[in-house]
Amino acid sequence: MVMELSVLDLALAALLILALAGLSLRLGLGIEQRLVVAAARTTIQLLLIGLVLKLLFDNAHFLWVAAMAAVMITAAGREVMARQKRRFVGWWGFGLGTLSMFVSSFTVSVLALLVVIGNTPWYAPQYAIPLLGMVLGNTMNGIALGLDRLTQEASARRMVLETRLALGQNWNETIADTRREAIRVGMIPIINAMAAAGIVSLPGMMTGQILAGTAPVEAVKYQILVMFLIAGGTGFGTVVAVSLGARRLFDERQRLRLDRLRTGAD
């Protein structure tokens, strides 16, 4: 049995947000408005997704599940683009993140549903949607960090990169160390999360299952599965996104093309 939460329970928890906003106002941090707006967005978005998932669970058809997955991947691709300080112009800004997450997160999730979990049908929304959501959320962070580091480093080291090109290196050799650093940065969050799991923190999925009455050992098994899927999705997605982004920084004549980037505020 799960203890149900009332509106009053949620309102009491919301007092923490209001208190934090008041503290921000008192200290002059300037984040009180963003904090309140983020809390309001969280509430509205989660309530809406709760209603959507209820309808989806009641009508577990493959096309509906596929449509939901497409919306999630598209929204994640937009978030990757929005988090870039210097993003690629045109469809590249949106397409890099979206394609990378489709190749990594979607593929990894489908593999887990078909081979590991083996539920019937394999696309059952109570498994497919939460699993894809967890993998997508973490992969999105890794790809965003990796691309941001790539474009920032390329802009900051423009003279170094152009000197290497002038000395005869091709684009792949010129950008190799920057690309490696960007991939490493994208992988840091999931590596830290795996290293701290079970000692510093109890991951959300495992905690939720335990609160719902699942045996702790079984909850741990699912959490290990999810962590490995997230690591795989994040790693492969970051490698794909950063590699494609690095190639996009150079044209067919081996010239560095920073005009293909623009600041996020533009």
φ, ψ of residue 201 to 5 degrees: the values are -135, 155
Let me know if 135 is exposed, middle or buried by CB neighbors in 10 A (0-12, 13-18, 19+).
buried
Which two tokens mark 140? 């999105």
The count of other CB atoms within 10 Å of the CB of residue 122 is 15
Same domain for 258 and 190: yes
| Tens-place pLDDT, residues 166-189 | 988 899 999 999 999 999 999 998
In order of 128, 139, 184, 191, the CA distances from 78 in angstroms are 21, 13, 22, 24
Domain end marker among 20, 43, 58:
58
pLDDT at res. 221: 85
| 47 and 155 assigned to the same domain | no
The C-alpha atoms of residue 229 and residue 102 are separated, in whole angstroms, by: 14
Q: Does pTM top 0.85 for this prediction?
A: no
Look at 11 and 216; give whichever has higher pLDDT.
11
Residues 129 and 237 in one domain: yes
Local structure of 4: helix, strand or coil: coil
E strand residue ranges, 56-199: 86-88
Q: Is the peptide bond between 121 and the residue preceding it cis, with omega within 30 degrees of 0?
A: yes
Looking at residue 127, its pLDDT comes to 85
**Final residue belonging to a domain, choices 30, 58, 86:** 58
pLDDT at 266: 43
In a shared domain, residues 39 and 155: no
Residues 131 and 246 placed together within one structural domain of the fold: yes
**Pick from 144, 152, 183: nearest CA to 249:** 152
| Same-domain check for residues 53 and 114 | no
Q: Are residues 254 and 185 in the same domain?
A: yes
Both 19 and 67 in one domain: the answer is: no
Residue 6 has a pLDDT of: 84
pLDDT number for residue 173: 92
pLDDT band of residue 265 (cuts 50, 70, 90) is very low
Q: Output the pLDDT for position 26.
A: 87
pLDDT single digits (tens) 37-64: 999 998 998 888 888 888 888 877 888 8
Q: In this structure, are 68 and 3 located in the same domain?
A: no
Residue 257: domain span: 62-263
Rounded-to-integer distance, Cα 260 and Cα 5, Å: 50
pLDDT for position 239:
93
Q: What are the tokens at 144?
A: 């965003």
Q: Which among 58, 73, 101 is the end of a domain?
A: 58
Residue 259 in contact with residue 92, Cβ under 8 Å?
no
Residue 208's pLDDT is 75
- CA nearest neighbour of 50 among 8, 99, 10, 15: 10
The answer on 205 and 221 residing in a single domain is: yes
List residues bridging with 197 in a β-sheet: 201
Residue 1 has a pLDDT of: 59
Residues 187 and 214 in one domain: yes
**Which pLDDT tens digit goes with each residue over 237-253?**
999 999 999 999 998 88
Residues 139 and 204 in one domain: yes
Q: In total, how many domains does the chain have? A: 2
Rounded Cα distance between 192 and 188, Å, is 6
Distance CA 174, CA 161 (A): 6
